[in-house]
């Protein structure tokens, strides 16, 4: 795998992990609505939406790299 693609994928994964971590924060802020015992489906929906938004925001700032956008340093 080329270094620029690997860096891009690591950034995308980081954005997704950060978004899912935000969903865990929701459990802390509103434990009566988002909890593991009774609100697992709500928590899952929140995590999924957060994951999609995180990935979309990352892709907006960092589109899929191609060979023509790679800078060569001397």
Sequence spans of domains, the chain? 7-63
- pLDDT at site 73: 65
- How do the pLDDT tens digits run along the chain, 74 residues long? 788 788 888 888 887 788 778 878 888 888 887 777 777 777 778 878 888 888 888 888 888 777 665 566 66
C-alpha distances in Å from residue 58, one per residue of 17, 27, 31, 72: 12, 24, 28, 23
Q: What pTM value is reported for the model? A: 0.62
* Of residues 11, 8, 18, 5, the one with CA closest to residue 53: 18
Q: Helix/strand/coil (H, E, C) string of 5-26? A: HHHHHHHHHHHHHHHHHHHHHH
pLDDT at 71: 60
pLDDT of residue 74: 60
Closest C-alpha to 22, from 52, 64, 1, 66: 52
């Amino acid at each position: 795998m080329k270094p620029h693609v690997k860096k891009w994928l690591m950034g995308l994964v980081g954005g997704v992990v950060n978004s899912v971590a935000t969903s865990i924060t929701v459990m802390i802020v509103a434990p009566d609505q988002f909890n593991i015992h009774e609100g697992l489906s709500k928590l899952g929906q929140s995590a999924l939406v957060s994951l999609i938004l995180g990935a979309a925001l990352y892709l907006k700032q960092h589109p899929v790299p191609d060979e023509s956008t790679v800078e060569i340093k001397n």
